Structure 1
Amino acid sequence: MNPNNVINSPDGFTPTFIGDLTDYGATLGYKNKTNNDWNIDMSATFGGNKILYTVGNTFNSSLGASSPINFKPGGFRFNNIVGNIDVTKRFSESVALAFGTEARREEYEIYAGDSASYYQTGAISFPGISEENAGVFSRYNVGVYADAAFDISDATSLNATARFENYSDFGNALVWKVSAKQNIIGKKLIARASASTGFKAPSLQQVYLSTIQNVFANSTIVSEGLFNNVGKEAKAVGIPSLDAEKSLNFTLGFGIQPNKNLSVTIDGYLIKLYDRILLSSRMNDQATILNPLAAIGVSNVTAASFFINGVDTNTLGLDLVANYRNISIASGKMALNLAMNINHSEITENSSKLDDLRLVAPFNRTEEALATTSRPSLKAVFGIDYSIKKWNFSLNNTLFGKATYANSGMPGANLAWDDPAASSQSYLEFSPRVTSDLTINYNINDKNTINLAVMNIFNVIPKWKLMNLPSGTSYDEIYNAVTFNGRYQQSSYDAQHFSIFGTQFMLGYNIKF
């Protein structure tokens, strides 16, 4: 315990951040077929994870010379138990029935850090979790479903499914799906379509997570709060409790198989999400955010975020998958594979629950980009597989298309997503890039396989450029804000459209029992 050695270091100091992670899981199942041809499938699954953090080589400035330089800021644990019973039977060549139930119990625990890690300003780089924000939270839900399939003819089939679910914290939900398939030219050309609804209750993490974090903003490290939706902070600001997301979905597609070696599928989809649960922008308005927080004793943050039912969104997309198999080369077989997705997402309107809050940009250009444009609208994978004797070689080339992002700290990033001036503001544009992955498998025998994978062979990393910078704006100033003073040169501080880690190697050994 000597923070002076940290503070007075001639080279400055770099805090360390370590996570001790534990994952666990197990599944037990039972299958049986009765004398009258009912198929019964029962299973129980238990799984979860736990992470505890350690922060070192830093200090809590509020404690002065008495501050430790190493902290235990707390952590998180989540586990669930899921039980399923599925029953199916085909009554004839034309009718099949399925029904079942699922019960789930979830538990989420937030561990408090040591008191020095969260006292007042907290440990620099990662303040700890306070006792007030720690706790154990749980819920259960039980669902039942029924599914009926009808083969009206050799060429036409219909399917209908309904599911009813009860959540201990979010009430009841009823969702449904209807789908149809029609053979147009035998099995060489098939059309299919579906319509469905969806329901997604907020996760326990979205409801209860509350923490203070140090972030980089305009060349300065500041503390910002992510507060939960059931605490005093949300009530003081006027954030409503989270509600469930709902969706309406449509698909239309075609399957083409002119011969046994060539197959192509094309599927279009439309997803309409209502009351989408997203993290709000970092709100820092003095009158509507900081003053109400200060009034309840929260004065150590410069901005606040909450999970909110922020907006309604539409996503329109197209999936293409093509395979050509059994190409004879030498004494082996080669296959060519292409998978491609094109999509466009947009916000259609603010959630009605936020209209009356009169907050300053609860959903700004940064959050809009995270929800709609920060991931490529075009992604394609072209793969080549070659098998010869005991060897298998796979080469996959992935195209990541253009993506755009309004990074926090850029001019106009804090404007509301629907501000009339938003479209003319500066942004980051990530360039299209192609990465190549090679996997080599050697089958020692039927039960043992050794494999080597080289991911991103040519060490391709993201590239981006600043767009629409206002006249008189310093490029270096914005560059430093985007990259955390050059620390995140390959992407940006908040977003990237694919991994920045370059070439990676993996060696594995598989055993079948």
Structure 2
Amino acid sequence: GNYSTRTSEGGFFFRAPGGSAARNGVFRTGTRRLVADLNPDDAIDCQATVPGLEADFSAVSAFVQSTRGACFLFNERFPGGFTPRFGADISDFSLTGGLRGEFLNGLSWDLSVSSAESQVAFFMRNTINASLGPETPTDFKPREYVQNETNVNLDAVYPLEVGAFYSPLNVAAGLEWRSEEFETVAGDPDSYRVGPYADGRIAGSFSIGSNGFQGLNPRNAGKWDRPNYAAYVDLEADLTANLTMGFALRYEDFYDDFGTTINGKLSALWRASADLALRATASTGFRAPSPGQANVAVLSTTFSGLGGLQEVGKVPPTNPVARALGGEPLKEETSVGFSVGLTYDFSAAARIRADFFRIEIADRISPTGDIRITDQIAFLLEQSGLAAGSEVTTINFLTNDFGTTTTGLDVSLNYAFAAFGGSSELTLAWNWTRTELDDFSPPFTVSEVLGTRLDEVQTVSLLSMRRRTELEDMNPAHRVAATWDHAWGAWRLLARGSYFAGWDACRFQSAGCGSLDSWGGDFLVDAELSYDFAGGYTASAGVQNLFDTSPGAVEGESSGQGNAQPESSPYDYNGGFVYFRVSYRF
């Protein structure tokens, strides 16, 4: 069994309090400073007297002081702007139990049942529900996700004597039943509440919900499950003293949605000598979208690529809003892959492993491009009772969009030796990987909604230049890791140095990834020391990114939304951190 808890927290984009970068729906509306009239019946015209967006701090402060109680600006609460803090309390639990045995004829069997649950409770701090005006809290619990999985497996293995083979034919077969359930829990009311200062889509409205990550409304919360069962057979035997062949076949039935699938694997191992062996595999694969992936609805803040932030609604493709805009139910991703490799033992202590692989994936799942919610689209959705939220400026949904081919090479060298009163192992690993787009869907047009022709036809690119860069260039082509693993008595020391070659990243403020930054390679060092106590306890202390390496700031980017680091990085650009861990084995 396993149980763990942890808390993860990070920052969102900076909400600027003035100027052209002022946060829309909080500090501005269009080109004007956003102000709430707390008492419309008095003689004070807040909108007519509020300073402009380019006014200096003293002018804004003077207005706040002179109109306190009659007019309200969020500059009063956050004169220097604010950066929402977004995080989650995460807990994971799993438990596995079973029975196994063997009959006199050599048939062995294993019956197991496993259950697991993962719960993610999101929180937002140092942010607001602007539509609540001066009464807004600054801490929210916008939603929870709960994933439950149950698996029941019955496996059997039998060595079947076949006269033509060098060894018995190992026959493995099994049955599996699996149930997967995903639940979304509504947030606290203030995280999604429509406050008194939200006036729909008219000028001057304040944004709705916890800013940065809107709370989940109870009407969008729910629970979805998917049961499925599978059967497999796996055959392997030494055909000769030097050649081993294997064949596996798996049948799976997702009887509630995706139907059936059959996948297979063929493998071969040829021992050319006592030290050298060659191996190869070919296989097909299948991945059905999870219930969470197919059903979650999220409203969050993203960068528009045009110099500002926007509220984006991500809805399930089967949601009526998505269906009205061209959404279709997701289908499974499929793959075909093969690999060839070799192993060579220089001695009992030193060996090399090398594998070349190629994987083709079709119908990969990806979000569509952003569809702008124009006034006409909003009106049609509202008239049909399908409004996605008045503050939503764009919407997207998942779709089966493109195919990729990933090619790579893994090479590792291992050397074991005795040193410092214990045993050590040195490992040097190198990886080269390249992903290329094979095909992708052409842009589609949104020309009508719910049977009504639109005045403005939108062309939506499913695979933007930014997304192509993320797929093909974001990850370094080369990675190298050198590891020293040393154990003596109850102690263990692990030290690792990792090198990441260069990569490319789009600029936050670059529309369509028109500006691309190239980053050079970086070297990181990790270390961990652990001690095994009696009774199954192990205590560990370690540091990741010992020298606090980071990619460095992006010139000119921090002046926009406050982000100093590149949009993508092969390692955590928050720098180094120290950790302590206690584990118990039973």
TM-score, L = length of structure 1: 0.86
Q: Per the alignment, do residues 206 and 440 of structure 1 end up closer, same or farther by CA in structure 2, a change over 3 Å counting?
A: same
Cα separation, 2, equivalents of 1:459 and 1:24: 32
Q: Per the alignment, do residues 5 and 411 of structure 1 end up closer, same or farther by CA in structure 2, a change over 3 Å counting?
A: closer
Pick from 146, 171, 189: which aligns with 1:77? 146
Point out the more displaced range, 23-32 or 168-177.
23-32
Cα separation, 1, equivalents of 2:485 and 2:209: 53
Structure 1: gaps of 5 or more residues: 414-424, 466-474
Deviation at 1:123, TM superposition (A): 2.4
What residue identity is the alignment partner of 1:309? N
Pick from 483, 490, 497: which aligns with 2:565? 490
* CA offsets 1:247-300 (integer angstroms, 9 cap, x no match): 111111111113211111110111000001123333438599878767743342
Point out the more displaced range, 305-314 or 3-12.
3-12
CA contact (8 A) 1:94 1:152 kept: no
2:528 is the counterpart of 1:455: no
CA contact (8 A) 1:249 1:270 kept: yes
Structure 2: gaps of 5 or more residues: 1-68, 162-166, 195-207, 447-457
1:56-455 to structure 2, matched below 5 A, reads: 56-65=125-134, 67-92=136-161, 93-120=167-194, 121-167=208-254, 168-186=256-274, 188-217=275-304, 218-284=306-372, 296-298=386-388, 299-326=390-417, 328-329=418-419, 331-351=421-441, 359-413=459-513, 425-443=514-532, 447=536, 449-455=538-544
Cα separation, 1, equivalents of 2:579 and 2:348: 34
Deviation at 1:359, TM superposition (A): 4.0
CA contact (8 A) 1:283 1:362 kept: no
* CA offsets 1:369-414 (integer angstroms, 9 cap, x no match): 333322222122111233445543221111112222224431432x
CA contact (8 A) 1:111 1:129 kept: yes
Deviation at 1:363, TM superposition (A): 1.5
TM-score, L = length of structure 2: 0.76
2:568 is the counterpart of 1:502: no
What percent identity do the matched residue pairs reach?
25
Cα separation, 1, equivalents of 2:148 and 2:321: 27
What residue identity is the alignment partner of 1:131? P
Cα separation, 2, equivalents of 1:150 and 1:479: 61
Cα separation, 1, equivalents of 2:122 and 2:73: 23
Q: Per the alignment, do residues 270 and 356 of structure 1 end up closer, same or farther by CA in structure 2, a change over 3 Å counting?
A: farther
Cα separation, 1, equivalents of 2:215 and 2:261: 37
What residue identity is the alignment partner of 2:310? V
Cα separation, 1, equivalents of 2:303 and 2:95: 41
What residue identity is the alignment partner of 1:183? R
Equivalent position SS for 2:471: helix
Larger radius of gyration: 2
Cα separation, 2, equivalents of 1:338 and 1:289: 57
Equivalent position SS for 2:224: strand
CA contact (8 A) 1:366 1:407 kept: no
Equivalent position SS for 1:371: helix
What residue identity is the alignment partner of 2:565? Q
* CA offsets 1:287-327 (integer angstroms, 9 cap, x no match): 9987876774334222222111110100001111210112x
Cα separation, 1, equivalents of 2:585 and 2:119: 29
CA contact (8 A) 1:428 1:464 kept: no
Cα separation, 1, equivalents of 2:103 and 2:117: 34
Q: Per the alignment, do residues 399 and 179 of structure 1 end up closer, same or farther by CA in structure 2, a change over 3 Å counting?
A: same
What residue identity is the alignment partner of 1:490? Q
Cα separation, 2, equivalents of 1:35 and 1:162: 27
CA contact (8 A) 1:41 1:87 kept: yes
Cα separation, 1, equivalents of 2:334 and 2:570: 27
Cα separation, 2, equivalents of 1:56 and 1:437: 31
Q: Per the alignment, do residues 126 and 285 of structure 1 end up closer, same or farther by CA in structure 2, a change over 3 Å counting?
A: closer
Q: Per the alignment, do residues 69 and 455 of structure 1 end up closer, same or farther by CA in structure 2, a change over 3 Å counting?
A: closer
| Match in the other structure for 1:468 | none
Deviation at 1:125, TM superposition (A): 2.3
Equivalent position SS for 1:362: coil
Equivalent position SS for 1:22: strand
Give the count of matched residue pairs: 482
* CA offsets 1:422-463 (integer angstroms, 9 cap, x no match): xxx421323211111112234456855443222221111224
Q: Per the alignment, do residues 359 and 175 of structure 1 end up closer, same or farther by CA in structure 2, a change over 3 Å counting?
A: farther
